[in-house]
Structure 1
Amino acid sequence: MKTRHWDRRGDSGLTFTELGFGTAPLGNLYRAITDDAAAAVLDAAWRYGIRYFDTAPLYGLGLAERRVGHFLATKKREDFVVSTKVGRILKVCRPEQRTGIGKFFDTPSRREVFDYSYDGVMRSFEASFERTGLDSFDILFVHDLDVFNHGTQAACDHYVGQFMAGGYQAMISLRDQGVVKAIGGGINEWEMCQALAERGDFDLFLLAGRYTLLEQEALESFLPMCEARDIGIVLGGPYNSGILATGPIAGAQYNYSDAPSEIVDKVRRIEQVCRKHDVALADAALNFPLFHPAVVSVIPGGQSVDQVASNARGRSTPIPCALWEDLKMLGLMRADAPVCEGSNGTG
């Protein structure tokens, strides 16, 4: 597995495998799996050379953190990179009040309480240590500080204010003490990532689904800013929550909902170009973000050993430059998107 080294602060930095592992599916996302099945998936990821694992309290309301921590406890600490997230406190509740009903299955009865304050971030961080059993995390991301999750710009602005006045200071303190090596945000909107980068000193952003084969608007200003400031990008959701893996089938998912007709149509056209070059749509989607110099890792999830194998195989599949050139010529990709090794965006 190829790696990418990131060292923004001159303190030896972190080495990421180009293919990482997002653990939301191990939190019983959309369907329940057993602890043994989850362990088999993590073992497969390790065997394929994956050494970067991202988790969060939200994923299965603590279930994913517990499972990934139990697995990583069997490995040498210097052999992997692990990140978790803050911004939510999980509180015990009645089963019918738990967060994520219909999304996460067979989870602990917990409800999320957003808390981006200094104390809230510290409490969340300590709880993650308890759930995982790990002694350290490499990266701490503030989670879901965006309009997508908070519903309105006003609500989002409220939490951003709370975070910058409190939680951000906690994260800076943890980094300054060497408790974590890097801080950043795990966020669904590049605009909010940029807004945070303009207000604070962040090292990495986990950008979910906003720089993909379908969407490259982050090239407008955010990704150039990251490149200029040596801010690394972990790219989550390379399949836009499903449709770039399944193709334009009935019920294909985009942004965790049924894909609208215009998205289905665009994916159909992209897939036609991929077929012309004998490349699977999913393989093109997985490889595309890694051509951008700011991207340090792409982290698709996986709920089965076969999915892990497919992702590993896809990353090792060469993509002809002519495929990207055709997509640009047809207006299905931004002309300035970097494609092919050493490309400057022209193909």
Structure 2
Amino acid sequence: MPYSQPTPTLPVRTLGKTGLEVPVLCVGCAPLGDMPDTFAYSVSEERALQTIRAIFKSPITFLDTAASYGDGESERRIGIVLKELGGVPAGYLLATKADRDLQTGDFSGDQMRRSVERSLRLLGLDRLPLLYLHDPEHTTFEKAMAPNGPVEVLQRCKEEGLIEHLGVAGGPIDLMTRFVETDIFEAAISHNRYTLLNTDADAFWDVCQQHRVGAVNAAPYGSGILAKGPRAYPRYEYGAASQTYLEQAIKLEDACQRYQIPLAAVALQFSLRDPRIHSTVIGMTRPERLDETVKLAQTPIPEELWNEIESIRLS
């Protein structure tokens, strides 16, 4: 079956100084690596492959994975489909991340090169279009920036043509801000820190804008609570949600139900409507979730509901 560039049905934005044009939605491929300890559910290889094949026919032309997702399993599964297709189809952008050794915790420059080389091998690619330094909170800023350390080695990989664009993806906002302010990185991912329940990354998007760094917001559903609902899935950022988050999420869900608008649509569009954010990453594990997510992104939301959401958020 021939694969051609999809008809664009999503707005696109320029990903900072990378110059890459990306859709406002990005498919997060972490759960496709089968990570039950993180997500509290498992994803079989068959279902993952079906989902990946569907992604490459969808209008969501931006994919995000990492070496650590299933310790290579997400990349391996994507690589199987890429081999079927003869490479990444035209019009699609695949991003991955260089990681520490999950067994030993090694976060050295040498480990970054090993991570890059394994990603290339598992994905079946000669070059990684966009690669992020991943989870630098597992080392220190000083060690990451040291001579022959992780950042310098990734820069060298870029000079060698193994990486086209270099970004940074992590958790703690203060640490992420320090990396962005070096002006080394072209894109940055923050996760679980710009949602209806937590806006710790608010000032971070301003820093990204000031440094022309592509801004990518991951996990606007707080890893599930704002998609499935707090009563059905009382978890935030891969663990049990706090009582404060639960109570606020219930108020948000009740407000949405009064307007007959899915909580997931409001949670997603909270990120999409922020002009500082170039793309928003949503994890998906079933082919039907692609169309569902596009519909959520395009669901009309009355201003009255947004006003009510804001009052609950700020209370």
Q: TM-score range by the shorter chain?
A: 0.7 to 0.9
In structure 1, what residue type is equivalent to 2:95?
S
Describe the shift of the 1:315–1:184 C-alpha distance in structure 2 as closer, same or farther (beyond 3 A).
same
Indicate the SS of the match to 2:190: strand
Match among 118, 122, 140 for residue 109 of structure 2: 118
**What residue number does 1:324 align with?**
306
Match among 212, 219, 226 for residue 237 of structure 1: 219
**What residue number does 2:60 align with?**
50
Indicate the SS of the match to 1:20: strand
Map 1:1-347 → 2, pairs under 5 A? 1-6=9-14, 8-9=16-17, 13-30=19-36, 31-73=41-83, 74=85, 75-89=87-101, 111-146=102-137, 150=138, 156-157=139-140, 160-165=141-146, 166-219=149-202, 221-249=203-231, 252-328=234-310, 330-333=311-314
Q: Tell me the distance in 1 between the aligned counterparts of 2:300 and 2:163.
A: 35
- Residues 148-191 of structure 1: per-residue CA shift (max 9 Å, x gap): xx4xxxxx43xx22211111112223334544232121212322
In structure 2, what residue type is equivalent to 1:34?
S
**What residue number does 2:6 align with?**
none
Task: State the number of aligned residues.
Answer: 299
Describe the shift of the 1:184–1:114 C-alpha distance in structure 2 as closer, same or farther (beyond 3 A).
farther
Describe the shift of the 1:250–1:5 C-alpha distance in structure 2 as closer, same or farther (beyond 3 A).
closer
Describe the shift of the 1:294–1:138 C-alpha distance in structure 2 as closer, same or farther (beyond 3 A).
farther
C-alpha RMSD over aligned residues: 2.2
Q: Tell me the distance in 2 between the aligned counterparts of 1:242 and 1:7.
A: 26
Of the two structures, which has the highest relative contact order with CA contacts closer than 8 Å and spacing of 6 or more?
Answer: 2
The answer to whether the 8 A contact 1:208-1:235 is kept is yes
Describe the shift of the 1:245–1:7 C-alpha distance in structure 2 as closer, same or farther (beyond 3 A).
closer
Q: Which moved more, 1:226-235 or 1:58-67?
A: 226-235
Following superposition, the deviation at residue 256 of structure 1 comes to 0.7
Q: Tell me the distance in 2 between the aligned counterparts of 1:321 and 1:251.
A: 27
- Residues 277-335 of structure 1: per-residue CA shift (max 9 Å, x gap): 3210011111111222231211111222233332222112122232222222x25159x
Following superposition, the deviation at residue 138 of structure 1 comes to 1.3
Q: Tell me the distance in 2 between the aligned counterparts of 1:300 and 1:183.
A: 21
Following superposition, the deviation at residue 24 of structure 1 comes to 0.9
Q: Tell me the distance in 2 between the aligned counterparts of 1:300 and 1:169.
A: 30
In structure 2, what residue type is equivalent to 1:305?
P
The answer to whether the 8 A contact 2:248-2:312 is kept is no
In structure 2, what residue type is equivalent to 1:202?
F
In structure 1, what residue type is equivalent to 2:282?
P
Q: Tell me the distance in 2 between the aligned counterparts of 1:115 and 1:292.
A: 37
Q: Tell me the distance in 2 between the aligned counterparts of 1:180 and 1:239.
A: 30
Question: What's the TM-score once normalised by structure 2's chain length?
Answer: 0.87
Q: Tell me the distance in 2 between the aligned counterparts of 1:260 and 1:76.
A: 41
Q: Which runs of 5+ in 1 are unaligned?
A: 90-110, 151-155, 335-347
The answer to whether the 8 A contact 2:82-2:124 is kept is no
Following superposition, the deviation at residue 28 of structure 1 comes to 0.9
Identity of aligned residues (%): 29
Moved over 6 A (4+): none
The answer to whether the 8 A contact 1:189-1:208 is kept is no
In structure 2, what residue type is equivalent to 1:42?
I
Following superposition, the deviation at residue 65 of structure 1 comes to 0.3
- Residues 31-64 of structure 1: per-residue CA shift (max 9 Å, x gap): 4433321121112223331211111121111111
